[in-house]
Each structure stands twice: as C-alpha cells, then as structure tokens.
Amino acid sequence: MSQPLILGIETSCDETAVGIVRGRTLLANVISSSVEEHARFGGVVPEIASRAHLEAMPSVLEQALREARVSIKDIDAFAVTAGPGLIGALLVGVSSASALSIAMDKPIYGVNHLSAHIAVDALNSDHPLKPTIALLVSGGHSSILQVNDIASDVKVLGSTMDDAAGEAFDKIARLLELGFPGGPAIDREAKQGNKSAIDFPRGLTHPSDQGEHAYNFSFSGLKTAVSRYLQQTPLSARADVAASFQEAVVDVLVTKAIAACKETGIDSLVIAGGVAANSRLREMATERTAKAGIDLRIPTMDLCTDNGAMVAALGSIAVSSGRAPSQVGFAASSSAGLNQIIW
Ligand code: KG4
Ligand code: ZN
C-alpha cells in the first residue's frame, strides 16, 4: 500500500495525542496535555497521567478524525506507542488502539516511541529517510543513533550515563525556580542572559573520554556546578545562569552529533525529541552543520515534543515497507530499547 491512511496514538507520558497521516502527508495532529496537573509536584505523576489519558482519549480521537476529514472506517491501520514510557500511561494507548483495531477489523502496529520521534522527519521532507545519524534528546532519553532503517535497524552509538538532556533542563529550572516543565522556561529565560557569563563544564568531552565515551553524555557534573554556583550567587543572575547552562548542554550535544557524522561518514543529521524544540540547539546545530557540510533536519516545534503524528509516521513507514502487523494482545513495555522497533 503506497499511501496508507494511518491513525497513530501516543500516551507514553503526559500527552494524550492522536495523529493521522496519509502516506507521508500529515492530516491531523491533536494533543491534550496533563502537564498542568503535574506542575505542583515538579514532575509527571504516573497515576495522574494514566487517568488523564483515559479522560482525554475519546475527544482527542474524535477531534483528530474531524481535523483530518476522515471517518474511522477509512483508516487502513492503527499505530500506537508500545514503549518505552510509563506503563500505566502506555496501557491506555495500547488498549484503545487494540479496541479500535478489533472493532474496525484493521491491522495494528505497536511501535517504539524513540524511533517514532525520528520517523516524524519523514513528514517534513519529500525524500525518504536515508541512513542518517540521529541525536535523540527528550525528557527520558539522550542518545546518538546510527539509523540505517528507521523501522528495522537503529544502532545506538552512545547514550547518557546519568540524566537525559531534558531531565537536566527540568532539574536546573527547579533550582532556578522557573517551574515545570523546565526546558521551555530555561529557553525563554536564557534569551535575557549572557551565554558566555559562566564557563560551566562540558561533560565527557575531555580527550581522554574520546574512546569509550565519544558519543556518551553526562550531565551530573554540570548539574553540580550550577547548584554550587547558585549557592554563592543570588538568583538575580538567573538569566545568565540559564543561558550559560543551556550553552553548555547544547555545545556538548551538537559537538558529539557532528563527530558521529564525521566518524561514520554519514553526512545527514536528524535532531529529534522534546529538547529539539530548544531555540539555541536549533541555532547552533544549523550553524555548525552548515560549516561541516552536513544535511540537518529538525522537525517543526510541535512535532518535536510528544505527539501522535510521529507514531502514525512510523506506522506508515512500516505498512509501506511491507512489515507484518503486531499480534493483538501484545504487551506494552516500559523499558523497551531500540532493538524492538515494531512489536
Ligand atoms: O520528547 P518529550 O516531549 O517527552 C519525552 O519523551 O520525554 O520531551 C520532554 C522534554 C522535557 O524534559 C522538556 O523540558 C524538554 O523536552 N523540552 C525542552 C524544550 N521544550 C521541551 N528542553 C529545552 N528547550 C526547550 N525549548
Ligand atoms: Zn518523547
């Protein structure tokens, strides 16, 4: 099937999202977030997220079908995030998609959330994803990947040894009393500050780290350095701290992603995941990849953070490449790795 109509469901964390694509064309992308219900706890509370998914699912689904101007009967296949993520939250999506698949007698594809973050690039470009390096930076994951085939062959070149990049943004935002989620708040605050004000450490970039840790990340030293700095400096310098912290994170991410492109000889880079919405990351990556002759692709902002379109995009790639659907009754997996892309 060359232009399948795919409905994708995403519920791995705090976004209840449904996306609809036809082939590589985005028709609808509806997102309901429970982020405000978690804000006073300073992080996502799994039980609250699961209940919010249950409550939001019917209306998000209806709205997506309306936006795409299609009927549920027209859908050729359903795709759903099967992992990794919060298990209770994943179960709401997997149960909903399984029920739709059975009721409409159409195939279902359980897909990997991380792979889906990258697959969304297919909706932005008219040429298919060729082998590419991917920098995947979200609230739960930070990795550099060699993507040979987004639906079947993704090799992990390196990952974070401690916090994910988004998690580091969220923790530093808490120290700076900027609220949750921290990424967008630091991004905004940093615009008022001087990114060269404080020379914060760049983890695992020392020449001695270049062997084993060439593509690994560590943000714990940076977090400690920011916390020590704040103990000695009043919060009035917070814009400078935000800007300098952001610069340190972004510098490491971009340096290592470009090094991976150079070492593998792959001159294409996709940056995906929630942190890819960061304005300084987008700016620095654009400058440095242009200098290095690397083709850079970053999804539009609304397709960087969790959404259903990315799940539908990966489902569409799976269908058009002839992958067998998942067996109804498959289990969601909170800790799925990239060795499991389609269930
Ligand atoms: O991919 P995502 O929506 O959910 C996960 O799969 O984790 O990523 C969420 C993460 C959060 O940590 C959030 O603070 C971060 O992405 N984020 C940002 C920005 N927007 C979202 N980080 C830095 N700058 C941003 N503008
Ligand atoms: Zn995500």
| Residues in a beta bridge with 112 | 83
Nearest to 255 by CA among 297, 211, 204, 198: 204
How would residue 127 be classed by pLDDT, with cut points 50, 70 and 90? low
CA distances from 324 to 3, 6, 11, 98 (A): 17, 15, 23, 16
Same fold across 5-124+303-320 and 132-301: yes
User: Position 138: which residue type?
Assistant: S
**5-124+303-320: CATH class:** alpha beta
Enter the DSSP assignment of 325.
P
pLDDT at 138: 92
pLDDT at 40: 83
Distance 137 CA to ligand 1 centre (A): 8
CA-306 nearest atom, ligand 1: 3
Q: Tokens for 88, please give them.
A: 């209770």
pLDDT at 210: 84
Query: What residues have their beta carbon closer than 5 A to ion ligand 2?
Result: 138, 306
Q: Tokens for 93, please give them.
A: 């999506």
d(CA 90, CA 81): 7
d(CA 159, CA 216): 5
CA distances from 97 to 92, 100, 191, 193, 303 (A): 9, 5, 41, 45, 21
> What is the reported pTM?
0.94
d(CA 253, CA 271): 10
Q: Is 179 in the pocket of ligand 1 (CB under 6 A)?
A: no
User: Position 342: which residue type?
Assistant: I
Nearest to 298 by CA among 127, 134, 116: 134
Q: Is 275 in the pocket of ligand 1 (CB under 6 A)?
A: yes
Domain range summary for the chain, segments of one domain joined by +: 5-124+303-320, 132-301
Instruction: Give the pLDDT confidence of 143-184 residue by residue, as tens digits.
Output: 999 999 999 999 999 999 999 999 999 999 999 999 888 999
Give the mean pLDDT of 107-126: 92
Mean pLDDT, all residues of the chain: 95
pLDDT at 124: 75
Instruction: Give the pLDDT confidence of 35-48 residue by residue, as tens digits.
Output: 888 888 888 889 99
Instruction: Give the pLDDT confidence of 241-271 residue by residue, as tens digits.
Output: 999 999 999 999 999 999 999 999 999 999 9
**132-301: CATH class:** alpha beta
pLDDT at 209: 83
**Beta-sheet pairing, 132-137 with 268-272:** parallel
**Nearest CA owner, ligand 1 atom 8:** 274
* 99-104, Cβ contacts within 8 angstroms, sequence gap of 24 or more: 100/7, 100/72, 100/75, 101/328, 102/328, 104/72, 104/73, 104/75, 104/78
Q: Is 85 in the pocket of ligand 1 (CB under 6 A)?
A: no
